[in-house]
Amino acid sequence: EAGVAQSPRYKIIEKRQSVAFWCNPISGHATLYWYQQILGQGPKLLIQFQNNGVVDDSQLPKDRFSAERLKGVDSTLKIQPAKLEDSAVYLCASSLQTGSLAEQFFGPGTRLTVL
Amino acid sequence: AQSVTQLGSHVSVSEGALVLLRCNYSSSVPPYLFWYVQYPNQGLQLLLKYTSAATLVKGINGFEAEFKKSETSFHLTKPSAHMSDAAEYFCAVSGAPGNTGKLIFGQGTTLQVKP
Protein backbone atom coordinates (compact mmCIF):
# COMPACT_ATOMS: atom_id res chain seq x y z
CA GLU A 1 0.00 0.00 0.00
CA ALA A 2 1.43 3.36 -1.04
CA GLY A 3 1.86 5.91 1.73
CA VAL A 4 1.10 9.61 1.85
CA ALA A 5 3.02 11.43 -0.87
CA GLN A 6 4.19 15.02 -0.61
CA SER A 7 6.04 17.34 -2.95
CA PRO A 8 8.32 19.09 -3.12
CA ARG A 9 10.48 17.68 -0.32
CA TYR A 10 12.45 20.90 0.05
CA LYS A 11 11.75 24.50 -0.89
CA ILE A 12 13.74 27.67 -0.38
CA ILE A 13 12.11 31.03 -1.06
CA GLU A 14 12.56 34.65 -0.10
CA LYS A 15 10.15 36.43 2.18
CA ARG A 16 7.08 37.89 0.50
CA GLN A 17 7.19 35.21 -2.21
CA SER A 18 4.46 32.63 -2.56
CA VAL A 19 4.78 28.86 -2.32
CA ALA A 20 2.54 25.82 -2.70
CA PHE A 21 2.77 22.30 -1.34
CA TRP A 22 1.01 19.23 -2.66
CA CYS A 23 -0.24 16.15 -0.85
CA ASN A 24 -1.65 12.88 -2.15
CA PRO A 25 -3.22 10.87 0.69
CA ILE A 26 -3.53 7.12 0.97
CA SER A 27 -6.18 5.86 -1.42
CA GLY A 28 -9.60 5.73 0.19
CA HIS A 29 -8.72 7.94 3.14
CA ALA A 30 -11.49 10.45 3.68
CA THR A 31 -9.71 12.68 6.16
CA LEU A 32 -6.66 14.79 5.37
CA TYR A 33 -4.60 16.94 7.73
CA TRP A 34 -1.94 19.60 7.26
CA TYR A 35 0.45 20.15 10.18
CA GLN A 36 3.19 22.75 10.65
CA GLN A 37 6.28 21.58 12.52
CA ILE A 38 8.64 24.37 13.53
CA LEU A 39 12.17 23.31 14.50
CA GLY A 40 12.26 22.13 18.10
CA GLN A 41 8.47 21.90 18.41
CA GLY A 42 5.83 19.29 17.89
CA PRO A 43 3.53 19.40 14.88
CA LYS A 44 0.60 21.82 15.05
CA LEU A 45 -2.59 21.22 13.10
CA LEU A 46 -3.27 23.88 10.49
CA ILE A 47 -6.31 22.45 8.74
CA GLN A 48 -8.33 19.24 8.60
CA PHE A 49 -10.54 18.11 5.71
CA GLN A 50 -13.24 15.48 5.68
CA ASN A 51 -13.56 14.62 1.98
CA ASN A 52 -13.53 18.11 0.41
CA GLY A 53 -15.06 19.93 3.37
CA VAL A 54 -13.15 21.74 6.12
CA VAL A 55 -13.53 20.23 9.60
CA ASP A 56 -11.11 22.47 11.51
CA ASP A 57 -9.07 25.44 10.34
CA SER A 58 -8.98 27.31 13.64
CA GLN A 59 -5.17 27.56 13.66
CA LEU A 60 -4.69 28.42 9.98
CA PRO A 61 -3.39 32.01 9.49
CA LYS A 62 -6.01 32.82 6.93
CA ASP A 63 -4.52 36.14 5.94
CA ARG A 64 -1.64 34.32 4.23
CA PHE A 65 -2.38 30.58 4.24
CA SER A 66 -4.96 28.80 2.14
CA ALA A 67 -5.70 25.16 1.45
CA GLU A 68 -8.01 23.21 -0.75
CA ARG A 69 -8.89 19.62 -1.39
CA LEU A 70 -10.48 19.35 -4.77
CA LYS A 71 -12.62 16.27 -5.38
CA GLY A 72 -11.81 15.04 -1.88
CA VAL A 73 -8.48 13.49 -2.86
CA ASP A 74 -5.30 15.56 -3.38
CA SER A 75 -4.72 18.72 -1.45
CA THR A 76 -2.61 21.85 -1.83
CA LEU A 77 -1.47 24.24 0.86
CA LYS A 78 -0.43 27.73 -0.21
CA ILE A 79 1.38 30.53 1.56
CA GLN A 80 1.19 34.03 0.10
CA PRO A 81 3.15 36.07 1.04
CA ALA A 82 5.64 34.05 3.07
CA LYS A 83 7.25 35.37 6.23
CA LEU A 84 10.47 34.32 7.93
CA GLU A 85 8.51 32.63 10.71
CA ASP A 86 6.89 30.30 8.16
CA SER A 87 10.14 28.34 7.95
CA ALA A 88 9.11 24.86 9.06
CA VAL A 89 8.33 21.35 7.91
CA TYR A 90 4.80 20.99 6.56
CA LEU A 91 3.42 17.54 7.17
CA CYS A 92 0.43 16.03 5.47
CA ALA A 93 -1.41 13.13 7.07
CA SER A 94 -4.47 11.10 6.19
CA SER A 95 -6.81 8.74 7.97
CA LEU A 96 -9.59 6.41 6.89
CA GLN A 97 -12.16 8.43 8.80
CA THR A 98 -12.51 11.31 11.22
CA GLY A 99 -12.32 10.76 14.95
CA SER A 100 -9.85 10.28 17.76
CA LEU A 101 -9.51 6.53 17.14
CA ALA A 102 -8.64 6.92 13.47
CA GLU A 103 -4.92 6.33 12.95
CA GLN A 104 -3.22 9.13 11.08
CA PHE A 105 -0.57 8.21 8.53
CA PHE A 106 2.03 10.89 7.85
CA GLY A 107 3.91 11.81 4.72
CA PRO A 108 7.63 12.69 4.74
CA GLY A 109 6.93 16.43 4.83
CA THR A 110 8.07 19.48 2.89
CA ARG A 111 10.86 21.48 4.48
CA LEU A 112 10.35 25.19 3.78
CA THR A 113 13.10 27.73 4.33
CA VAL A 114 12.16 31.40 4.03
CA LEU A 115 15.14 33.76 3.63
CA ALA B 1 -8.35 22.44 26.53
CA GLN B 2 -5.79 19.72 26.07
CA SER B 3 -2.00 19.88 26.28
CA VAL B 4 1.03 17.64 26.50
CA THR B 5 4.35 18.19 28.24
CA GLN B 6 7.37 16.05 27.46
CA LEU B 7 10.00 16.25 30.17
CA GLY B 8 13.47 16.43 28.69
CA SER B 9 14.12 17.54 25.13
CA HIS B 10 17.13 15.21 24.88
CA VAL B 11 17.65 11.80 26.44
CA SER B 12 20.85 9.79 26.04
CA VAL B 13 21.18 6.11 26.91
CA SER B 14 23.71 3.38 26.24
CA GLU B 15 22.84 0.52 23.93
CA GLY B 16 21.12 -2.18 25.97
CA ALA B 17 19.99 0.22 28.70
CA LEU B 18 16.42 1.06 29.69
CA VAL B 19 14.69 3.76 27.69
CA LEU B 20 12.29 6.04 29.59
CA LEU B 21 10.66 9.00 27.84
CA ARG B 22 8.30 11.06 29.96
CA CYS B 23 4.95 12.51 28.95
CA ASN B 24 2.38 14.29 31.09
CA TYR B 25 -0.96 15.41 29.74
CA SER B 26 -3.75 17.78 30.62
CA SER B 27 -7.28 17.10 29.45
CA SER B 28 -10.75 18.06 30.58
CA VAL B 29 -12.19 14.92 28.96
CA PRO B 30 -11.02 11.31 29.03
CA PRO B 31 -8.00 11.39 26.75
CA TYR B 32 -6.72 9.24 23.99
CA LEU B 33 -2.93 9.22 24.09
CA PHE B 34 -0.36 8.42 21.43
CA TRP B 35 3.36 8.05 20.97
CA TYR B 36 4.88 8.73 17.55
CA VAL B 37 8.46 8.29 16.35
CA GLN B 38 10.12 10.42 13.70
CA TYR B 39 13.33 9.34 11.99
CA PRO B 40 15.42 11.98 10.19
CA ASN B 41 13.77 13.29 7.03
CA GLN B 42 10.76 11.04 7.50
CA GLY B 43 7.19 11.51 8.60
CA LEU B 44 5.79 10.43 11.94
CA GLN B 45 5.06 6.78 12.59
CA LEU B 46 2.63 5.57 15.25
CA LEU B 47 4.33 3.55 18.00
CA LEU B 48 1.32 2.90 20.21
CA LYS B 49 -1.94 4.39 21.45
CA TYR B 50 -4.11 4.35 24.57
CA THR B 51 -7.84 4.35 23.97
CA SER B 52 -9.26 3.64 27.45
CA ALA B 53 -8.94 -0.13 27.30
CA ALA B 54 -5.88 -1.65 29.01
CA THR B 55 -3.72 0.86 30.86
CA LEU B 56 -0.51 -0.89 29.77
CA VAL B 57 -0.17 -0.54 26.03
CA LYS B 58 2.31 -2.47 23.93
CA GLY B 59 3.51 -1.04 20.64
CA ILE B 60 5.90 -1.78 17.85
CA ASN B 61 9.66 -2.31 18.17
CA GLY B 62 9.41 -3.44 21.80
CA PHE B 63 8.05 -0.17 23.18
CA GLU B 64 5.28 0.08 25.74
CA ALA B 65 3.58 2.81 27.74
CA GLU B 66 1.45 2.91 30.86
CA PHE B 67 -1.50 5.24 31.35
CA LYS B 68 -1.63 6.55 34.92
CA LYS B 69 -4.66 8.74 35.47
CA SER B 70 -3.67 9.71 39.01
CA GLU B 71 -0.36 11.05 37.72
CA THR B 72 -1.74 12.29 34.36
CA SER B 73 1.19 10.50 32.75
CA PHE B 74 1.82 8.27 29.76
CA HIS B 75 5.53 7.48 29.86
CA LEU B 76 7.17 5.44 27.10
CA THR B 77 9.59 2.65 27.97
CA LYS B 78 11.72 0.00 26.32
CA PRO B 79 13.74 -2.48 28.36
CA SER B 80 16.81 -2.51 26.13
CA ALA B 81 17.78 0.28 23.74
CA HIS B 82 19.02 -0.47 20.26
CA MET B 83 21.03 1.82 18.02
CA SER B 84 18.11 1.92 15.60
CA ASP B 85 15.91 3.52 18.29
CA ALA B 86 17.74 6.83 17.90
CA ALA B 87 15.07 9.24 16.70
CA GLU B 88 12.69 11.93 17.88
CA TYR B 89 9.66 10.85 19.87
CA PHE B 90 6.41 12.75 20.22
CA CYS B 91 3.62 12.25 22.72
CA ALA B 92 0.17 13.43 21.61
CA VAL B 93 -3.32 13.71 23.07
CA SER B 94 -6.72 13.62 21.43
CA GLY B 95 -10.32 13.15 22.44
CA ALA B 96 -11.37 16.78 22.56
CA PRO B 97 -15.07 17.63 22.39
CA GLY B 98 -16.34 17.15 18.88
CA ASN B 99 -14.03 14.19 18.48
CA THR B 100 -12.54 15.41 15.21
CA GLY B 101 -9.32 13.46 15.72
CA LYS B 102 -7.18 16.57 16.14
CA LEU B 103 -3.85 15.65 17.75
CA ILE B 104 -2.14 17.95 20.23
CA PHE B 105 1.58 17.17 20.28
CA GLY B 106 4.27 17.70 22.86
CA GLN B 107 7.51 19.38 21.87
CA GLY B 108 9.33 16.12 21.33
CA THR B 109 12.23 14.23 22.91
CA THR B 110 15.33 13.34 20.95
CA LEU B 111 16.67 9.94 21.93
CA GLN B 112 20.39 9.34 21.49
CA VAL B 113 21.71 5.79 21.82
CA LYS B 114 25.41 5.44 22.52
CA PRO B 115 27.33 2.28 21.57
- pLDDT, position A98: 77
Contacts of A89 (CB under 8 A, 6+ apart): A36, A37, A109, A110, A111, A112
pLDDT digits (tens, 9 = 90+) for B2-43: 899 999 999 999 999 999 999 999 988 888 999 999 998 888
Q: How does the average pLDDT of chain A come out, rounded?
A: 93
AA identity, residue B101: G
Asked if the C-beta of B3 comes within 8 angstroms of chain A's C-beta atoms, the answer is no
- pLDDT tens digits for A61-114? 999 999 999 888 999 999 999 999 999 999 999 998 777 778 899 999 999 999
Q: What is the pLDDT of residue B24?
A: 97
Closest CA to B35 of B22, B26, B16: B22
| B 18-77: CB under 8 A from A | 32, 36, 41-46, 49, 51
**Residue B85 φ/ψ, nearest 5 degrees:** -80, -10
Output Rg (C-alpha) for chain B, integer angstroms: 14
Q: Looking at the complex, report in whole angstroms how far the Cα of residue A59 sits from the nearest Cα belonging to chain B.
A: 11
Among B45, B18, B26, B20, smallest CA distance to B34 is for B45
Q: What does the pLDDT look like over B47-105, one tens digit per residue? A: 999 987 789 999 999 999 999 999 999 999 999 999 999 999 999 998 765 667 889 99
- Above pLDDT 90, what percent of chain A? 85
